[in-house]
Amino acid sequence: MLDCGIKQCLAYTGPFSDLKYCPECGEALYNQDILLASNDALKTPHQTFSTIPLAEQL
């Protein structure tokens, strides 16, 4: 599962893996309500998506 923001502008992988806010729309990666309630312990992304590696498709 890969993390993505609320507007799905980009996946937070590769060069974007250290970002906490989207460079396109400025939205936070993690759900801020959960993050603040847990004192930054629970980092729950707004959305996730799955990919199927090409080798498994062939």
pLDDT 10s digits, 11-57: 888 898 899 999 999 999 999 999 999 998 999 998 888 888 888 77
Structural domain containing residue 9: 1-51
* 20 lies in some domain: yes
Cβ atoms within 10 A of the Cβ of 29, count?
22
C-alpha 14/C-alpha 39 separation (Å) is: 27
* 45 lies in some domain: yes
Overall number of domains in the chain: 1
User: 3 Cβ partners below 8 Å, 6+ apart?
Assistant: 11, 12, 29, 45, 47, 48
User: What pTM, to 2 d.p., does this model score?
Assistant: 0.71
